[in-house]
Structure 1
Amino acid sequence: MTRIVVHAGFHKTGTSSLQDYLRHHRAELRERAAIYLKEDFPEVGYATRAFGFRPSLWRRWRFRRALRAFLAGLPDDDQIFLSWEGFSGIMPGHRRPLTGLVSGYDRAAIPLAKITRDELRRRFGPQAQIVFLYTLRRRESWLRSVWGHVVRSIQIRHDMSEFLEMMKDTPSLEEEAALLARALAPTPVETAWLEDLTPLPQGPAAAALRLIGLSEAEIAALPPARRTNIGNPPALSEAFLALNREISDKAELKRRKDALLHSRTPYE
C-alpha cells in the first residue's frame, strides 16, 4: 500500500524553505520517502499556473493529463512526498485576465486537489493512503508578504495600506484550509503554522519530516535549515512600487527591477 503526502500550498508560508531543505537532503531521506519537487514535474507546474489564472474546463483537463503522464513514470514506492504551492493555483493579489483580482484560493485549489487525489488513486490504486498538507501563516503577516511579492513580480501600483484594504475580504489561510478539508473529506488534510515551524532547527521542513514518519529524535539529528527566499527589505519594496508607478513598458520595468535585485546592498 502506497502512502502519498501532497504538500499543496499555500504561497508565502515557508514553502521555499521546506522544499530547499528536502532538495538538499533528498538522498538521506530516500529510505523514508521518494521526494518530488516542482522541478521534477515542469509540465504539471505549467498546467497548474495556467489553470490558476483561468480555471476553465479545458485547462482543468490539461492539468489532469499532465499529472497523469507524470505519475505514470513514477516507480512504485512505499511512501511518496510531492511538494509545490502551485497545486493551490495562483497567489492571491495577482489578477486574472477576465475576472480581476484574485482574492482567494478555493476557485482553483479545490478542483486541483480533487484531480490530484483522483489521479493518485488511479495510479497507485484505491487503497493508496493520501494526505494533503497545507502550511499556514497568520493573516496580516501573510498579506504583507504577498504584497512584497506582487509589487516585485507584477506592475501593482497600490501601496501596502491600499493593498490590505483591497484584500480585506480575503479569507484567512486557516479558513481556506478548512474549505479544502470539507471538499476533500474523508481524505485527510493536515495543517502546520509557519510561526510554529520557523523557530525549529529544520524550519518549515519539520512539518514534512513529521508527516513522512520521522520521530522528533530523528529530526533533531538532521542538519539545520538555511534561510531561503527571504522577503525584500521594506525600502526595496518601496523602490519597486515607485518603478511600477513610473514605468509603463514591461520590458524596461523588468530590467530596472532586476537591476535593483542584483544591487541590494543599499536596501539591506
Structure 2
Amino acid sequence: MVQRLIVHAGFHKTGTTSIQKALKAHRAQLRPHARVGLRPAIVGLCEAARAYSVSRSALDLGLVQFEAAELATAWAEQDSTLLLSSEDLSGHMPGRRGLQAYDATPRLMAAMVEAWRAVLGDVAIDLVFTTRDAAPWLASCHMQHLRATRITQAQEDYVRAYAGSAELDGIVDAVTAAVPDVHVHRFALEGAPFGRILALAGVPEDLWPAMPHRNRGEPNSLRAALLEINRSDLSDDDARAARKAAMQAKA
C-alpha cells in the first residue's frame, strides 16, 4: 500500500518546470525515498482537471474523480511514497479559456482527495503549491500567453486585467479549507522550494541533488516581437510559425 502521497499541484510559472526537470533527472537517485510521477504518468487526470476548470460541470468533475481513482488503483500495490508534480492539476492557467483565476482549484483538490481516500484508505496526503510574488508572476504569465496563444494585450494591459489572478495565497487558503484533513503546503519560488519538497519526501539533505537553475527571463525584445506577430494579419498557422522562429532566434 502507498505510504504517502505528495502532490505538487501548482501553480504555473512558479518554477514548476525547473523542479520537474530536476525530479526527472534524479528519479533513480530519489527512488529509495520516493517514486516520482510527472505529467506523462498522470496525463488523464491533468487533462480532466483542465477541462473542469473551464466547464465547471458535474460530468467533468466526475471524470476528475474517475481518473484519480484509476491512478490510485494502479498505485495500491506500491509500498512507497509517491511524489507527483504537474501544475495542470490546478486547471488551466488564468488568461486561458476565459479564466480569471484558479478558483476551480479548491474543488479539484477536494475531488481528487476524495477519490484517493476511497481507494487508498487513510493514506497520508500532502498537497504542495509553489507561489511567486505578484509582479514577476503576472509578467511571466503574459509572456507564456504570448508564446503559446494569440493574445494581443500589452503587458501593462494584461497586468491590469488579471491582477486578481495573482492572489495565489488566497487560492491556497481556499484549498486548505476544502480539504481540512490534508496537509497543504505553500512554498514561495523565492524560498528555494525544491529542497522543501524533497524534505517532505524524507530525502536527507545531504542527498539532495543540486538545486535546479531557474529559467532565464525572456528579453523585452522578444516580448515586443511576439506581440507584433500576434497583432499582425498573419493566419493563425503562420503566426504560430513566426512565434516559433522568433523564440528560436532569441534562444
Please, what TM-score do these two structures have when normalized by structure 2? 0.92
Give 1:48-127 correspondences, 5 Å limit.
48-74=49-75, 75-94=77-96, 96=97, 100=98, 102-106=99-103, 108-125=104-121, 127=122
* CA distance in structure 2 between the partners assigned to 1:190 and 1:230 by the alignment: 26
Contact in 2 for aligned 1:33/1:77 (Cα 8 Å): no
Shift of 1:252: 1.3
Shift of 1:211: 0.9
Say what the alpha-carbon RMSD is for the aligned residues.
Answer: 1.8
Letter in structure 2 aligned against 1:104: A
Letter in structure 1 aligned against 2:100: S
Show CA shifts across 1:171-211 (max 9, x none): 521122112111211311011110111xxxxxx42122011
* CA distance in structure 1 between the partners assigned to 2:211 and 2:250 by the alignment: 23
* CA distance in structure 2 between the partners assigned to 1:66 and 1:18 by the alignment: 24
The DSSP-based 3-state class of the residue aligned with 2:164 is coil
Shift of 1:228: 5.9
Is residue 2:45 matched to residue 1:44? yes
Shift of 1:227: 3.0
Show CA shifts across 1:32-58 (max 9, x none): 011111011222222222222322112
Shift of 1:30: 0.7
Aligned to 1:142: 137
Shift of 1:232: 2.4
Is residue 2:200 matched to residue 1:211? yes
Aligned to 1:195: 190
* CA distance in structure 1 between the partners assigned to 2:164 and 2:185 by the alignment: 24
Give 1:172-191 correspondences, 5 Å limit.
172-191=167-186
Letter in structure 1 aligned against 2:134: R
Contact in 2 for aligned 1:4/1:130 (Cα 8 Å): yes
Distance 1:55 1:161, change over 3 A: same
Shift of 1:155: 1.1
Aligned residues: 249
The DSSP-based 3-state class of the residue aligned with 2:218 is coil
Distance 1:231 1:68, change over 3 A: farther
* CA distance in structure 2 between the partners assigned to 1:49 and 1:80 by the alignment: 22
Distance 1:216 1:225, change over 3 A: closer
The DSSP-based 3-state class of the residue aligned with 1:6 is strand
Is residue 2:239 matched to residue 1:250? no
Contact in 1 for aligned 2:18/2:213 (Cα 8 Å): yes
Larger relative helix fraction: 2
Contact in 1 for aligned 2:19/2:212 (Cα 8 Å): no
Shift of 1:248: 5.1
Contact in 2 for aligned 1:20/1:228 (Cα 8 Å): no
Show CA shifts across 1:45-88 (max 9, x none): 22222222322112112222222222222232231111111111
The DSSP-based 3-state class of the residue aligned with 2:163 is coil
Contact in 1 for aligned 2:3/2:124 (Cα 8 Å): yes
The DSSP-based 3-state class of the residue aligned with 1:73 is helix
* CA distance in structure 2 between the partners assigned to 1:218 and 1:227 by the alignment: 18
* CA distance in structure 2 between the partners assigned to 1:247 and 1:58 by the alignment: 39
Letter in structure 2 aligned against 1:158: Q
Aligned to 1:26: 27
Please, what TM-score do these two structures have when normalized by structure 1? 0.87
